[in-house]
Structure 1
Amino acid sequence: MTRHIRHAALFCVLLLAALLVNAARVQVLRADAYGADPANRRDTITRYQQPRGDILVAGRPVTGSRDTGEHLRYERTYRDGPLYAPVTGFASQEYGTTLLEHTEDGLLSGADPVLAPLPLWNEFTRSRNAGGKVMTTIDPAAQRAAYEGLRSRKGAVAAVEPSTGRVLALVSVPSYDPGLLSGNGRTAREAWARLNADPDRPMLNRAVQRTYPPGSTFKVVTAAAALDAGVVDDLDEPTDSPDPYTLPGTTTRLTNGARGCADASLREAFVQSCNTVFAKLGVTTGVARMRAMAHGFGFNDGDLRIPFRVARSTFDTTVDRSQLALSSIGQYNTRATPLQMAMVAAAVASGGQVREPYLVERTTRAGGGTVSAAGARPVRRAMHPATAMRMRELMRGVVEDGTGKKAAIPGTVVGGKTGTAQHGLGNSGTPYAWFISWAQREEDMEPRVAVAVVVEDAANRREISGGGTAAPIARAVMEAVLKP
């Protein structure tokens, strides 16, 4: 009898050892495979068992969480969803995350190990931290002024603080309500299908994800390159520029929309936005120096993140002389995001220095303890300070005496540059209206805001212009930032 008991005990020990080996195999060797199995919903259920942390604007949350009482318990909610969608993006149980909801997902969902009270604490306790908070740099007054300024027109606005790189406004119209995508039911699926089928692409963040021909706003880059290289020494000296100007190596004649451009000085050409002067100036400056200046401003940089990725703005470096002439007036293959052109204006405003823009000021734990802060940002010099001073003089002339008068603000120093960019086959599309600018109150030591506005459409081609369509929007944004 004792022998049978020993055999049974040995058999039980073997069974226990087999169970332990199998458990180890499942927990260690097969953990990744089981975790990635689409049928395994434990991580998903755990993820939505608690409220998501909030994204804040000026200290107030523009996001929230709603208790549905279902397996995926908490859904994301949004306050002023269309207004802040280009900042927050969406967090959807069905379609994932975008923009800040994506780049800060670990912190907002509570999954980031940095939120744990002790290293490896969550691995041992199987617990999950409360979601943290993301504090943005957005100025709510500037954001609303940009959104209401665009109204029903397609376009985008980006505004930054020149001295720091803080993003003050990021608006894209048409927009959408990200709350419609939060769940995983019929409502979310219908909204997803409708938004993706919309030809106006409301989920496209035009401020950072779309590039446009910058048109005459790029003349800021061309003028800076010519001044920095010594091609032009005197703003008021005639430039020996014909009108019309025949593109080098071709029979194509470039003309102007303004009069008095023949042999105009750089100051006159900038104020009147003479294509012929700047096309010739770009050719004289040369592709190497034009490329260096464009690169200094941020063109051709594919690594810019704020923290989500910004589309690469481009200045073609493989051009011949005729193509360089067109590139120098913001046409041909020259493309820019509104954020990039806001950086151009900011560089002029800050004495030639370019600061990388950023959107997140600080992240914190749910209880308020700081996780990370923006700190000092990398700085590079786009142009000499003396060049920046002369560019500020030229941009002030556009607002005071030229095509940008509608951006003028009483008691405020404003500099700007208009642009009307042709596009489409044979330039058949409605031109894009651009305006880039900076502003400071007379008592300020330095400019406090730089803005770029692009408007894609108008009732007809004759109604759209940088000075008439885009400049008033920029003025409203600058006023919102400068208001005491």
Structure 2
Amino acid sequence: MTQHIRHSAYFCLMLLVALLANAVRIQFLDAGSYDDNRANRRSQIARYHQPRGDIVVDGAPVTGSRDSGEQLRYERTYTDGPLYAPVTGFASQVYGTTLLEHVKDAVLSGTDPALKPFPVMNGFTRARSRGGDVVTTIDAAAQRAAYEGLDGRKGAVAAIEPATGRVLALVSSPSYDPGALSGNAAATARSWARLNADPDKPMLNRAVRQTYPPGSTFKVVTAAAALDAGVVTDLDRPTHSPDPYPLPGTRTTLMNEGEGCGDAPLREAFEWSCNTVFAKLGVDVGVRRMAATARAFGFNDTRQRIPFAVAPSTFDTSMDRAQLALSSIGQYNTRATPLQMAMVAAAVANRGQVRSPYLVERTTTNEGATVATAGSRPVRAAMRPETAERMKELMEDVVTEGTGTNAAIPGAIVGGKTGTAQHGLGNAGVPYAWFVSWAQNEDERQPKVAVAVVVEDGSAERGDITGGGVAAPIARSVMETVLNSKD
């Protein structure tokens, strides 16, 4: 009898071990396949069972969560959604996440292990922490100044702090309300269809995901390359540049919008944006050195993140001399995002040093404890410090005496460069209006802000599109706002 009891006990123990082994297999080894099964809604229900963490601007959240009372309980809400859409992106129960909502989803949704006080234990229980917060570098007043300056016109604004790389404003227009995509009702699908069908592409982040021919704003790069290479040694010496300029190896001649560009010194050519002078300078510098300088400013960088991906700005590294001439005035295949051109202005303002731009200052728990910080940012030299000082002179002259007078701010030192970029088949499209700039208060030692503005206003008359007339006032408004802000 005892033997039978013992055998039964062994058998029950074996069953228990098998049951535990199967539970372990399901819980740990096969968990991924169950999680990924389309029929399993547990993870989705858990994801929306609690409020999402917030994205914070100037100490105030610009996001929130609404209790819908449905199975997918909490929906994302946005304060001033169109204003901050190029920063936040959207978090949708149907269409996923974009921009900061995407790259910081683990923190915001509460799945980041760093949010858990006991990560090992939570790993066994698979418990979800309360969503953490993402604190941005955005200056709320500068963001609004940029948004209101564009006033619904197609275009974008990027502003950064030269000494640190902090992104102070990131605006794209026209914009959209991310809250329209949050839920899973029929209205959400209608909003998605409408936004994707809109020819103005309101969901396109033009500040970081759209590249444009930079036009004459690229002459900042060309001038820096010429000074660094010793092609120009005196800002006021004639450059021996013919007007018109015959493109090397072709029968085509390059013209200027105004007069007086023949043999113009670099200072005058920069003030009045002489195409012929800068086309010849680019050819004299050569494709290798021009490409190296462009790369030092950030062009051809396919890995840039702020933390979401930025479309690479491009400068060809293999072209003939005629193409190089056009590339050196921001045409041909040269393309740039507004963020990239803000980096160009910031490099001049920061003694030739380029700081990698960043948008997130820190992430925190729901209770405010710091989880991670931005830390020090990588820096590289775009030009020699003495070249940067001469470039500052040139950009100041543009604002005080040249094509950028609309950017002048009383009581401040402002440097800028206008641009009117041709595009389209045979350059038949309405030109894009550009302005890149930096500014500092007269009593400060270094510039406080660098800005790039592009306006692609298809409703304007061709002759009315100029960087100085259209884009410079927007840049001035953003710079003035930052200069007047309290640190």
User: Which TM-score applies when normalising by structure 1?
Assistant: 0.97
SS at match of 1:120: helix
SS at match of 2:159: strand
Partner of 1:53: 53
SS of the residue corresponding to residue 324 of structure 2 reads helix
Q: Aligned residue for 1:67?
A: 67
The match for 2:382 is 382
> Is 2:211 the partner of 1:211?
yes
Q: How far apart, in 2, do the equivalents of 1:68 and 1:32 lie?
A: 29
Aligned position for 1:474: 475
Paired position in structure 2 for 1:305 = 305
| Alignment-mate amino acid for residue 203 of structure 1 | M
Offset at residue 246 of structure 1 (A): 0.6
1:321–1:137 distance in 2 versus 1, CA, 3 Å: same
Deviation at 1:121, TM superposition (A): 2.4
The CA distance in 1 between the partners of 2:134 and 2:22, in whole Å, is: 43
Which ranges of 4 or more aligned residues in structure 1 deviate by more than 4 Å? Answer: 1-18
The correspondence of residues 348-363 of structure 1 with structure 2, limited to 5 A, is 348-363=348-363
SS at match of 2:111: coil
Q: Matches of 2:471 and 2:86 in 1, distance apart?
A: 19
Q: Which runs of 5+ in 2 are unaligned?
A: none
Q: 1:332-411 residue pairs with structure 2 within 5 A?
A: 332-411=332-411
Deviation at 1:6, TM superposition (A): 7.9
Partner of 1:95: 95
**Deviation (angstroms), 1:11:** 6.5
Distance in 2, Cα, partners of 1:276 & 1:79:
49
SS of the aligned residue for 2:371 comes to strand
SS of 1:77 mapped into structure 2: strand
Tell me by how many angstroms 1:185 deviates: 1.5
CA distance in structure 2 between the aligned counterparts of 1:163 and 1:221, rounded to whole angstroms: 19
1: distance between equivalents of 2:115 and 2:399?
A: 50
**Are residues 1:130 and 2:114 paired?**
no
**What does residue range 441-456 of structure 1 map to in structure 2 within 5 Å?**
441-456=441-456
C-alpha distance in structure 1 between counterparts of 2:417 and 2:159, whole Å: 15
Structural RMSD (CA)? 1.5
Residue identity in the other structure for 2:482 = V
The AA in structure 1 aligned to 2:268 is E
User: Match for residue 179 of structure 2?
Assistant: 179
CA shift, 1:188, in A, is 1.1
- CA shift, 1:376, in A, is 1.5
Cα pair distance change 1:389/1:17, threshold 3 Å: closer
Compute the displacement of 1:166 (Å). Answer: 0.5
Counterpart amino acid of residue 469 in structure 2: G
Q: Percent identity?
A: 73
Is residue 144 of structure 2 the alignment partner of residue 144 of structure 1? Answer: yes
Q: List aligned pairs for 1:268-287, cutoff 5 A.
A: 268-287=268-287
- Structure-1 residue corresponding to 2:462: 461
Deviation at 1:28, TM superposition (A): 3.5
SS at match of 1:302: coil
For residue 80 of structure 2, what is the aligned residue in structure 1?
Answer: 80
- How much has 1:10 moved relative to structure 2? 6.9
Give the deviation of 1:3 after TM superposition: 9.2
Distance 2:285 2:425 in 1: 29
CA distance in structure 1 between the partners assigned to 2:10 and 2:134 by the alignment: 58
What is the DSSP-based 3-state SS (H/G/I as helix, E as strand, rest coil) of the residue aligned with 1:206?
A: coil
> What SS does the aligned partner of 1:158 have?
strand
Counterparts of 1:480 and 1:217, CA distance in 2? 23
Shift in Å at residue 13 of structure 1? Answer: 5.6
| AA of the residue aligned to 1:472 | P
Deviation at 1:462, TM superposition (A): 1.4
What's the TM-score once normalised by structure 2's chain length? 0.97
Q: CA, structure 1 residues 139+61, in 2 after alignment: closer, same or farther (shift >3 Å)?
A: same
CA distance in 2, matches of 1:272, 1:390: 17
CA offset at residue 46 of structure 1? 0.7
Q: Structure 1 residues 252, 4: closer, same or farther in 2, change over 3 A?
A: same
CA distance in 1, matches of 2:189, 2:64: 21
User: Which residue identity does 2:148 align to in structure 1?
Assistant: E
Partner of 2:291: 291
Report the alpha carbon displacement of residue 70 of structure 1 after superposing the two structures with TM: 1.2
How far 1:24 moved relative to its partner? 3.5
Using the TM superposition, give the Cα deviation of residue 373 of structure 1 relative to its aligned residue in structure 2, in angstroms.
Answer: 1.3
Query: 1:193 maps to what in 2?
Result: 193
